[in-house]
Amino acid sequence: MTDNRENALAYAHKNKDNFLHELKEVLRIPSISTNSENKADMLHTAEWLTEKLRGLGMENVEIFPTAKHPVVYADWLHAENAPTVLIYGHYDVQPVDPLDLWESPPFEPTQRGDSLHARGASDMKGQVVAVIKAIESIVENGDLPVNIKFMIEGEEEIGSPSLVDFMEAHKDMLAADFCLNPDAGIMDKKLPSITYALRGLAYFEIRVYGPSHDLHSGLYGGAVANPANALMTLIAGMKDENGRITLPGFYDKVRPLDDEERVELARLPMKDDFYLEATGSSALWGEKSYSAVERTGARPTLDVNGMLAGFTGEGAKTVLPAKAMAKISMRLVPDQTPDEVYEQLKQYMEENAPKGVTWDIKVEHGGHPSISERDGVGVRAMAKAFENVWGVVPLFTRGGGSIPVVAEMQNILGIESVLTGFGLPDDRIHSPNEKQDLPTWYRGIDALIHFFYNLS
């Protein structure tokens, strides 16, 4: 087994250029799940994945249609007395807007120094290809030491609306000892990490309506309610001066941080200077009595993601708008749920919306928060793999983002997830000029090779 491991690592090192070529190949496909005009690109990416999985010797390779974008499945189940690992990934990517801020075309992978720039390079085609290439390195030099199942979806960036039904319908097919999910990234090039908790998400669109049509602000301003003013006032009131969210009952089910966990989180290298440098902000802000690392991983949030009302073109137009809209997202922590938060938002609007306007709330999508065990067999194998490659004990951290499938796997399949990956905090995921640090990516492939052998 030791010889096979060393041979697999040697193969990976020899084939770095080929691995990078194939990553660039899939990055050129604009698999934007939220855009209907990219539906053919979504299928193209799914077909690209099935071709690669068949090339690895995977069996039962299939593209499963869903109500929107397909799920790719494959397995290899011939390792005796070995665990079964369900590998999760997603092949869809975020939209590229604003296009003019990209330094190179988003779907033409461009290397600048050690970084490969393209939409999906980090989130998460780079991570999916890293797993595929680690397994390729193993199968080219001996049998897999563990049983493998792949489930790669195409809807993560739009909240995975089809995945719950898919997992419910295929519980037996997806049965595994645990899941490897490389969608979480690591903290630093020199500091590998394993994520043990993720925030959930509740995303809403609030619309406020006033007069039946846009009005002249000179003739009618001051006489009727302005929906834009009303919406801004409502949003401003959703937080108090200490950064706490004021929706009724919002914190009732928030699981508090205990002293031991706060001590562990304080060991992480993400101090105030990190957040200031990473964001380009002049000062930090947030819920008082919590550090920045606690606010971004273990506390809930409420943020405006976009607003629209009235005249927004060049110059001036003295208009009193008939309607206003805001998109609001909330990051949730255990034990909050999107449905309960919706009811809290609805109650807030009922209690605070002024006379003269009406309103409605559209639920866009949501996902449950998760918290996982830190001592499972998969976590131990991954921690040892990081030590094998990086030479340091990995850090354990909470992730501020949302990966809804983690909680759904706990609920539906009854399995925990090993959350890691090889993206970095400055990879600009969801933003222009997304990138993947290539030296870290190559080390990640090595770590995954060790991970699969460590499980044996």
pTM of this prediction? 0.82
Residue of 342, 349, 344, 343 lying closest to 366 (CA atoms): 342
The DSSP bridge pattern shows strands 110-112 and 71-76 to be unpaired
CATH number where 245 lies:
3.30.70.360
Domain edge (last residue) among 367, 401, 420: 367
Same domain? 100 vs 189: yes
Q: Identify whether 273 is part of a domain.
A: no
DSSP secondary structure letter of residue 101: G
8 Å CB contact between 23 and 126: yes
Q: Identify whether 423 is part of a domain.
A: yes
Number of H helices, E strands in the chain: 15, 18
Compute the half-sphere exposure of residue 366: CA atoms within 13 Å on the CB side of its CA.
21
Same domain? 66 vs 193: yes
Domain count, the chain: 2
Same domain? 112 vs 149: yes
Same domain? 143 vs 223: no
Same domain? 191 vs 208: no
Q: Identify whether 176 is part of a domain.
A: yes
d(CA 444, CA 426): 17
Same domain? 345 vs 245: yes
For residue 105, the enclosing domain spans 2-198+369-454
φ, ψ dihedrals at 28, nearest 5°: -75, -10
Same domain? 190 vs 238: no
Same domain? 420 vs 332: no
Q: Is 312 exposed, middle or buried (0-12, 13-18, 19+ CB in 10 A)?
A: exposed
Domain edge (last residue) among 348, 367, 386: 367
Q: Identify whether 226 is part of a domain.
A: yes
Same domain? 227 vs 319: yes
Same domain? 358 vs 235: yes
Q: Identify whether 275 is part of a domain.
A: no
Domain edge (last residue) among 319, 341, 367: 367
The DSSP bridge pattern shows strands 200-209 and 358-367 to be antiparallel
Q: Identify whether 280 is part of a domain.
A: no
d(CA 399, CA 185): 9
CATH number where 130 lies:
3.40.630.10
Same domain? 15 vs 132: yes
Same domain? 189 vs 209: no
Q: Identify whether 322 is part of a domain.
A: yes
φ, ψ dihedrals at 282, nearest 5°: -90, -20
Q: Looking at residue 1, what is its pLDDT?
A: 66
Q: Identify whether 115 is part of a domain.
A: yes
CA dihedral over 9, 12, 16, 20, signed as positive or negative = negative
Question: Tens place of pLDDT for every residue, the chain, 456 residues?
Answer: 678 999 999 999 999 999 999 999 999 999 999 999 999 999 999 999 999 999 999 999 999 999 999 999 999 999 999 999 999 999 999 999 999 999 999 999 999 999 999 999 999 999 999 999 999 999 998 889 999 999 999 999 998 999 999 999 999 999 999 999 999 999 889 999 999 999 999 999 999 999 999 999 999 999 999 999 999 999 999 999 999 999 999 999 999 998 988 988 898 888 899 899 888 999 999 999 999 999 999 999 999 999 999 999 999 999 999 999 999 999 999 999 999 999 999 999 999 999 999 999 999 988 899 988 888 999 999 999 999 999 999 999 998 888 889 999 999 999 999 999 999 989 999 999 999 999 999 999 999 999 999 998
The DSSP bridge pattern shows strands 193-198 and 395-399 to be parallel
8 Å CB contact between 120 and 126: yes
CA 110 to chain centre: 23
Residue of 34, 95, 23, 94 lying closest to 69 (CA atoms): 34
Q: Looking at residue 67, what is its pLDDT?
A: 96
Residue of 293, 258, 254, 292 lying closest to 397 (CA atoms): 293
